[in-house]
Amino acid sequence: MVLTGNTILITGGGSGIGRGLAEAFHALGNQVIIAGRRKEMLEETTAANPGMRSFPVDLLDAAALRAFAAQTAAEFPALNVLINNAGIMRPENLLAQPADLAGAEAMIATNLLAPIRLTAALLPRLQRQPHSAIINVSSGLAFLPLALTPTYCATKAAIHSYTQSLRYQLQDTKIEVLELIPPYVATHLMDRNANDPRAMPLERFIAEAMDILKRQPAQAEICVENVKRLRFAAESGQYDATFRAMNDYR
């Protein structure tokens, strides 16, 4: 992926990994557009980064997402990079679920359906650019789940699978398809994450991920060292032991 001279749309760009990526790409001179549901956080991010643009959008609303994609493509005709980053993570007790499953359905809509819908809506625009890229943000939990968050992990496993298929189908186009695979990072994705000493500091994660992109621009999967234990648990023969160690932790 070319790291400069792009027009980049990042969902969930007002906080956490999304904001970290937005600021890193903005610092490299790219035009960055951030989108998400929390207008105040988007505005806070753009205020701290002059020249960055933001648009509030309800990622759960399919019609609103299509309209947003059309508006963004029209206003930014040079748009050539889509980073599907927005996500929500909630703990679930599968033995005591509410009848409506609204929480699980919101995670599926945000973490899986929104990236699929936005990719489909913007693919014609990306195909017309001299070079373009789609980066889907999955998780180390796509490869070894945290039992406390089953639906979240399932959506990330699905994003990994979708990304592989998308990459294969687009292999003869000018669109690169990358997967960013974060480890446990200190963000506010769940309440306890931000201050957990076991979590990788956000600044260090962003710096290492951007360094991989700079050194290995054709790398299909962006894996920092901290996530390799999860990403390659099955290949290393350590899946069962790692699963137990992570899920039996108290």
pLDDT at 194: 67
**Domain spans of the chain, in order of start:** 7-247
Q: Quick check: 32 pLDDT over 60?
A: yes
pLDDT at 250: 52
Residue found under tokens 């669109």: 175
Q: By three-state DSSP, how is residue 70 classified?
A: helix
To the question of pTM greater than 0.85 for the whole model, the response is: yes
List the Cα angle 129/21/72 in 5-degree steps: 40
pLDDT at 190: 77
**Regarding predicted confidence, which is higher, 98 or 183?**
183
For range 42-48, the mean pLDDT? 97
Strand blocks (E) in the chain: 7-11, 31-36, 53-56, 81-84, 132-137, 175-181, 221-223
Per-residue pLDDT band for 191 (boundaries 50, 70, 90) equals low
Residues 6+ apart with CB under 8 A from 221: 178, 179, 181, 231
Burial class of 81 by CB neighbour count within 10 A (0 to 12, 13 to 18, 19+): buried
Average pLDDT taken over every residue of the chain: 95
pLDDT (tens digit, 9 = 90+) per residue, 103-158? 999 999 999 999 999 999 999 999 999 999 999 999 999 999 999 999 999 999 99
Residues 6+ apart with CB under 8 A from 173: 127
d(CA 249, CA 181): 22
pLDDT at 211: 97
pLDDT (tens digit, 9 = 90+) per residue, 3-14? 999 999 999 999
pLDDT at 197: 85
Sign of torsion over alpha carbons 158, 64, 76, 206: negative
Q: Quick check: 193 pLDDT over 80?
A: no
Per-residue pLDDT band for 195 (boundaries 50, 70, 90) equals confident
Which architecture characterizes domain 7-247 according to CATH? 3-Layer(aba) Sandwich (3.40)
Q: By three-state DSSP, how is residue 78 classified?
A: coil
Please give the positions annotated as active site. Answer: 152
pLDDT at 50: 97
Long-range contacts of 39-43 (CB under 8 A, 24+ apart): 41/14, 41/15, 42/13, 42/14
